[in-house]
Amino acid sequence: MNDPAPLAPTGTAARALARAREEADAVLAGLVPTADVHGSIHEARKAIRRLRALLQLVDQRLDVGIADRILQRTGDSLSALRDAHATIGTAERFARRDHERWQPVVVTLAQRRDALLATALVQDPGFERRRSWVRRALARIEAAPWHRLKAADLRRALERGRRRADKARKRARRDADADALHRWRRRVRKLRMQVEAVATIKPALVASLGGERHADQAERLHALSDRLGRRQDLDVLRTLLEGMPGLDDRDTLLDQVREAEDRLGRSLGG
């Protein structure tokens, strides 16, 4: 006897599923290498984070944890490539003020980035293996019982996300090491993406939480996430400088990075 066909989602659930499909399509599109391959990787990783943020909003009702873990694995497999590219941008900002000292660093970082990309494409030509992971995750997402999802599930998940972000903020300000700041950044970024997702699925729900327009909430969270991201980029750059062989003026360069970290830390209340 065949199992009955799953009920078609409607209303909030249908819009949430449509959003998930859009984000999965964006991941697949970003995993097609282009002339701007680093830009494509960046877009793919952003779409993965948006999709995972949405899945974590609905997981307690739909049990999509396996799909989330597949997407996490995919995003993690791209993180070294993205970080290598982002670090060049961070070094280039220092080079605008101190070109002679920083330009050799920029060149070395670009060589490192290109070598990492070449290795990745040899191991996974055209990122086809990663695309297959995303298609497998999407199949699990589409098979979930979306008709069970209610607006109240989204409300509870948003409230839980706010509590987690606030807890991470308090911990980071009490003990502002790299791990605590990174955790705060991840939770703020996830909450911002969840606010943006719910704003397209059930706009009134976001506004009802705290009385703030969803656009204002998203903008505020985005600004905080960006500052935390810059703090992490500086930490990565400092680590690379410390291990870069044959680097002239290492101490001077590290001092510049530490000064930038201190300024950003003060802006974050640390």
Q: For 7-61, what is each residue's pLDDT tens digit?
A: 788 899 999 999 999 999 999 999 998 888 998 999 999 999 999 999 999 999 9
d(CA 142, CA 134): 12
Note the pLDDT tens digit of each residue in 212-226: 555 566 677 777 777
d(CA 206, CA 214): 6
The pTM of this model reads 0.85
Helix, strand or coil, per DSSP, at residue 24: helix
Question: DSSP secondary structure string, 89-147?
Answer: HHHHHHHTT-HHHHHHHHHHHHHHHHHHHHHHHHHSGGGHHHHHHHHHHHHHHHHS-GG
Note the pLDDT tens digit of each residue in 60-91: 999 999 999 999 999 999 999 998 999 999 99
Q: Is the pLDDT of residue 236 over 60?
A: yes
Neighbours of 63 (CB within 10 A): 13
d(CA 246, CA 175): 34
> Alpha-carbon Rg of the chain, whole angstroms?
21
90 contacts 76 by C-beta, under 8 angstroms: no
Q: Is the pLDDT of residue 268 over 70?
A: no
How confident is the model at residue 261, as a pLDDT?
Answer: 86
Q: Identity (one letter) of the amino acid at 196?
A: E
What's the Cα-to-Cα distance from 248 to each of 84, 102, 155, 235, rounded to whole Å?
Answer: 21, 10, 54, 20
d(CA 59, CA 54): 9
Q: Which among 166, 212, 217, 211 is positioned nearest to 196, based on CA atoms?
A: 217
Mean pLDDT of the 143-170 span: 92
d(CA 28, CA 134): 7
d(CA 228, CA 199): 23
Question: Residue holding tokens 């706009």?
Answer: 203
What percentage of the chain exceeds 90 in pLDDT? 62
Helix, strand or coil, per DSSP, at residue 20: helix
